Structure 1
Amino acid sequence: MRKGQYRFVAGFLFVPVALYVIFVIWPYIQTFGYSLTDWKGQSQTFDFVGLDNYKALLRDDVFLEAIWHNILFLVFIPVITILLALFFAFMLNAGGRGKAGGVQGVAGAAFYKIVYFFPQVLSLAILAVLFNAVYRSDGGGLLNGALIKVGLVDADNPVEWLNEPNLVLWALMVAVVWQGVGFYLVLFSAAMQSIPKDVYEAALIDGASRNQSFFRITLPLLWDTVQTAWVYLGIVAMDMFVLVSSMTQNMGAYGGGPDHHSDVMSTVMMRNFLYYGKSGYACAMGVIMLLLTLVLSVVTLRATRRERIEF
């Protein structure tokens, strides 16, 4: 590249890079700086305390429990969402078989894609309102009402889905998976449509079953897309602030009830930052969240890395 071209490229990159540094990198640096102080949030004066906030995190049972909850979300949300999305995408694109041996999706595949994708257009606030109605702890709730109708639940003693320590995390997972499956179904469908039909037809001629077609053809050719989806869902699992704070909002500041059994790192951080006024301490939590998310992304990309398959 000639010298003039370097200046031309640098001129185009200067403004976006400067904006990225100012609005993305600099706030991270500020957060780390505040995490080393006893900043109260409202005051402009604070004292340097070194690593005291990080040492306190190691003794904070609420924050440590919140990390465990994020780990549970990290394990189950990506696995369930990706498996369901892959299954539905495969059925909609290659689940049917033509009379002449060709490969096609199930009947009405285009309509099903719209139906499955519909939850993705709902905001998280609307999703929280919707599932609060589903999980109402009386006969008026959709889930309790259905269970009462079929006789699985006593009308005088309905299940308190969001107030039961052993159920609240699973209730939140269902909401996240319900919303996310449609998006990843469309993502995987787009990737599947780029796979030549001849590949599937050759496998059918060789006597491959539907399961063999999926595991030997579809999944290997979609691995890069699955890997990307896993990283994004992992980031979702590391956050969960909006749903937890909205769906469990009557159980304490910024949700987390009952008795911190649904707390995640983000709700504990916001509670300390805005409710308790321990802003420097909350910044230390934010730094830990950033580091864990980066480690998660790197580990996931390396653990799922495999030789790229060309077709």
Structure 2
Amino acid sequence: MTLDPSNLLVGDRPEGFRSGFACFVGRPNAGKSTLTNALVGEKIAIASSKPQTTRHAIRGVVNRPDAQLVLIDTPGLHKPRTLLGERLNDLVRDTWTEVDIIGVCLPANQRIGPGDTYLVSEIAKLERRPKLVALATKSDLVSDTRLREHLLSITKLEDELGLRFEHIVPCSAVSGEQLDDVEDVLVSLLEEGPAFYPDGQITDEPTETLVAELIREAALEGVREELPHSIMVVVDEMGLREGRPDDKPLLDIFASLVVERDSQKGIIIGHQGSRLRDLGTRSRQQISALLGTPVHLDLRVKVMKEWQRDPKFLNRLGF
């Protein structure tokens, strides 16, 4: 991923207009993707309680009269066990060096632990350190007393690691608490500059990638702990069905769910295909809502042994 603004500029804006890039980091299930979606105002990143759900650096655009903030939702930094894990960590670290702001998500309903300390200490080592903001996510899940304790813990983390957050903001992407404050704080830290994307554009992700991610999100629901890492979705073919009236379009999507073992294929398909049918229904509804077009979705399940360790397959998927 390259965030070269010279490749993206689309025109001038009023005097004093601010623009720039920010990314959210944090432990798995810290609320990064949910926060990105809430600020953009549309679902562009899938969210799940499963670790390492995010596998791409997805850009979401927040457009305001006075600013354009590009949010980059990245995978969580983790101990890699596969080639895919190593490449995702590289993606995270590359993103850190290219953004203007890093928002560190520290969920208020969890104690600050070694994982948080390690993550922030790694950011502190950067030669060119972006501006840092601490976000006490999931603030709606705790009492005022617990939230105050959490904010004090964040301050102690600053002292422990010898760095300073520009702001510390409690927020909840689910309830909407202080989301405006988060947006205002991030925009206030941007430099003056032109917009990178046209008004109204909320992401530059290819449609096929968004579709594949929505299918994968549906597949993650209710599966065993070891299975989420093994699921990949590939859109094999997508296009409007020929011969349909203009006022009754139908988008045909043919996609493959790739897993690593035959036993996993059985889990995805379910008893007499029940899980796969349910998965297809849920993902089709999400895709249709995203694209505003009725969808016919054809899903197949394929086994590709150890695909997470296959460099050729990972290269083809853009990892």
User: Does TM, scored on the shorter chain, surpass 0.5?
Assistant: no
TM-score range, shorter chain: under 0.3
Greater helix proportion? 1
Bigger Rg over Cα: 1
- Larger RCO of the pair (alpha carbons < 8 Å, separation 6+): 1
In the superposition, the TM-score normalised over structure 1's length comes to 0.23
